[in-house]
Each structure stands twice: as structure tokens, then as C-alpha cells.
Amino acid sequence: MSDIVISAKDVTRTFMISAGAFRGKKPLHAVNGISLEVERGDVLALVGESGCGKTTLAKMLLGLLPPTQGTIKFAGEPVSDIERLKLAGLVQPIFQDPYSSLNPRKSIGSIIILPLKVQGDPNPETWRRRGEEMMEMVGLPARLFNNFPNQLSGGQRQRVAIARALISKPEVVICDEPTSALDVSVQSQILNLLQDLRKELNLTYIVISHNLAVVEHIATKVAVMYLGRIVEQKDVESLFAAPEHPYTRALLDSVLTPDPSMNVPDTQLGAAYPNPVNPPSGCTFHPRCAKVMDHCSAVAPKAIPRDGGFAECHLYDENEGRGRQAS
């Protein structure tokens, strides 16, 4: 019995970008037809590099940006129909930079209890106590309630951000690179904390990350994004055991594990990085693909069901490319 807590269908978000002094505006499809479903308790990882649209998608899932096309639903109800405050109580963000995600002029305590204030939570006398309980839950001593962000380390600030996100008991938390800006020794603390809290509070996570080692550790499902589309989506074990899309393979190859006996791998991607305003024709990945075929530049691939998920690649298209699959 699947409990789909958040879903997106054919979601597109287009920005009009000026293409030059006298040339008017061109459309930039930051997110270009994305569909996904997240079940309760899942940790869906959105993986991709700059320009793939993951941050834009996150903003849409948070309800901060409306899709240009398509619908995003929360427990079956379109997000556009859900009232602003109610949505805030259902889905909350954790941002990447602990130095810009906290208002430097407000105390830690007032930052953490702000959601209660805004929601008009009925018992103001309990706010402080609940704030302190939340702080304890994320590993911050309650006596820091009146301190300011500049007095805390990066890891501590990220804990404040987590406390703020969870105090209104949301169902879904969208983590945008939650540990990328932190030191290695702090990253593991925060990752462990996120895992613990997910179990304790029965949360569902959507994690945006470019760090595939972290993804492999905490995600249950992985969606690989490239230029606004999901090019491969699978359960985490399947994806890491047998990545099928050539871009996924290149990404996985780029993960540098601390093994001194190995060298830096050659991902064979070439230096031609695409411009999102002028995406390549057909399959947008074709100029960089090691396994490109003739028709890849003409026809965009559809999502082909594979192994519990899908991959958008002509290599797996039953009508074409079957013969090349073996390589």
C-alpha cells in the first residue's frame, strides 16, 4: 500500500532570459518535464551538477515557485490549492549554506520558534520550552537559546536550521546540499543526526546533493538530473550496482574514494559543457556521451522502464540500440 506523500507530474519551469542587447528574451527551461513520486519514509536523492535544475525543482516542491506547466501534489492535493500556512506545516527546507540561512540579527531561539509564531500556534507560553526541546533533539545545548548565529560554528548553525525546519512537525523535509558547506568531521555528525531524526519523527526526505558517496549512504531512491530532466531514476542499490545512463556512469566514476592505489578516472566527458539556454538537440547529453549513436542528436529519448525505475537513453530502447547494450 503506497503512501505517496509528494508527487510531480510533467513539471516544467521556464524563465525568460535576455539573449543579448537587442535580441529580446529567450526561454530557459530550468526544469523541463519532470515527474516523480515520493513515498512516505523515502529518502529521494536528486543528483546533478550546476545547471541541472535541482534547486529550481526544490523551490517548486516547497511551494516557493509555481511551475510553468504541470502539477505538484501533496498527498494527492495540488500544491496550488493548499493554503500557504498549511503547506508550510507540511514541507520545510534545510539549505546548504549555514552562514546565510540564519538571520544574523536574530537570536537562535527566536529563529527556531519563528514557525510556531507564524503558524499562530495556540500556546505561546510553551514556545520557549518547545524551542529548547527541539534544540536538545538536534544536539544543541538549550542555554544557547539567546545566543546569535555568529557565535556558533558551521555545524551548530546547521543544527539550528534543522531545528527550525522540524519544530512545526512537517512531513517532508527538502535538504539542499545539507552538508556540502561543512567540514568532513562535521558532515558525518549532521548526516547521522538527519538519519536519527528521520526515524524518530517519521519524516520523508528529498535530498539534493552532488556528493554521490553521501547519497549512497543515506538515500533509498536516486534520481539523476541533467539539464532539467531526470535521466535515470532507480532504487539506490540498483543505481550504484548497475548505472545505465552514460551520464550516471560518468558521475559515479567521478566519485573519488580515498583509495591511494587508484588514480583519477577519465570520465570521457569532453570539455563541451552545455548552455542551458541553447540545449543540444535530441538527447541533450549526446555531445558528451561516450556511447552516442547516430540518431541521438535527432530524437530525444523517452523514459524507458528499467529495473524498478527508468532510464532515458536510446541504448535501452527496444527498437533501437539493443545491440549496443552489451558494451
Partner 1 sequence: MADGTIKSRTGVHIEDRIIDEPSPGERARKRMFSHFGFMFGGFILLAIIALAFLAPLISPHDPFDQQLARKLIPPIWHDHAKVTWVHPLGTDQFGRDYLSRLIHGSQISLLIGFSAMLISGVIGTALGVAAGYFGGRVDMVVNFLITTRLSMPVILVALAVVSLVGNSLTIVIWVLGLLIWDRFAVVMRSTTQQVRNLDYVAAAQAIGCSVPRIIFSEIMPNIVNNLIVVATIEMAHAIILEAALSFLGLGVQPPAPSWGLMIAEGKNYMLFDPWLIGIPGTALFILILAINLLGDGIRDVTAPENRN
Partner 2 sequence: MSDRILEVENLTVDIPVGGGMLHAVQGISFHVDRGETLCIVGESGCGKSLTSLAVMDLLPSKAFRTANVLNLADEDMLSVGERRMSDIRGNTMGMIFQEPMTSLNPAYTIGNQMEEGIKRHKNVSTAEARERAVYLLEKVGITGAASRLGQYPHQLSGGLRQRVMIAMTIMCGPNLIIADEPTTALDVTIQAQILLLLAELQREFDMGLILITHDLGVVARIADRVAVMYAGQIVEQGTADQVFNRPTHPYTQGLLECIPIPGKTDRSKPLGSIPGIVPSLVGKFSACHFAERCPYAMDECVAGNIDMRGAAAAGHEYRCLLDNETCDANARKKGVA
Inter-residue contact 180 to 208 (CB < 8 Å): no
- From the list partner 2, partner 1, none, partner contacted by residue 188 (C-beta under 5 to 8 A by kind): partner 2
Quick one: which H or E segment has residue 71?
A: strand 69-74
CA 74 distance to own-chain centroid:
17
- Site for partner 2, rule CB under 8 A: 49-50, 153-156, 183-189, 191-192, 195-196, 210-214, 216-218, 240, 250-251, 253-267, 269, 271, 273
Number of other residues whose CB lies within 10 A of the CB of residue 125: 6
- Stretch near partner 1 under the rule CB under 8 A, chosen from 39-47, 69-77, 135-143, 252-260: 135-143
Q: Does 173 bind partner 1 (CB under 8 A)?
A: no
H helices present in 143-290, as ranges: 154-166, 184-201, 212-218, 236-241, 246-254
Q: Pull the grid cell for residue 133.
A: 526541546
Which of 93, 131, 246, 301 contacts partner 1 by CB under 8 A? Answer: 93
Q: Does 87 bind partner 1 (CB under 8 A)?
A: yes
Minimum Å gap between C-beta 237 and partner 1 is 26
Binding residues among 95-134 for partner 1 as defined by CB under 8 A = 95-97, 99-106, 114-115, 118-119
| Residue nearer to partner 2 on the CB measure, 35 or 211 | 211
Which of 16, 17, 64, 290 contacts partner 1 by CB under 8 A? Answer: 64
| Residue nearer to partner 1 on the CB measure, 7 or 92 | 92
Number of chain positions touching partner 1 (CB under 8 A):
52
Q: Does 141 bind partner 1 (CB under 8 A)?
A: yes
- Stretch near partner 1 under the rule CB under 8 A, chosen from 93-101, 203-211, 259-267, 293-301: 93-101
DSSP 113: H
Inter-residue contact 198 to 146 (CB < 8 Å): no
Residues near 68 by beta carbon (within 8 Å), at least 6 away in sequence: 12, 13, 14
Q: Does 137 bind partner 1 (CB under 8 A)?
A: yes
- Stretch near partner 1 under the rule CB under 8 A, chosen from 18-26, 186-194, 259-267, 298-306: 186-194
Q: Does 10 bind partner 1 (CB under 8 A)?
A: no
Q: Which of 59, 57, 210, 302 is nearest to 222 (CA)?
A: 210
* Orientation of helix 154-166 relative to helix 124-137, angle to 10°: 130
Residues forming beta bridges with residue 8, ordered by sequence position: 36, 72
Dihedral of the alpha carbons of 234, 238, 240, 241, in degrees to the nearest 10: -160
Inter-residue contact 128 to 151 (CB < 8 Å): no
Binding residues for partner 1, rule: CB under 8 A, are 59, 62-64, 84-85, 87-89, 91-93, 95-97, 99-106, 114-115, 118-119, 136-141, 144, 147-148, 150-153, 155-156, 159, 161, 164, 168, 189, 192-193, 196-197, 200
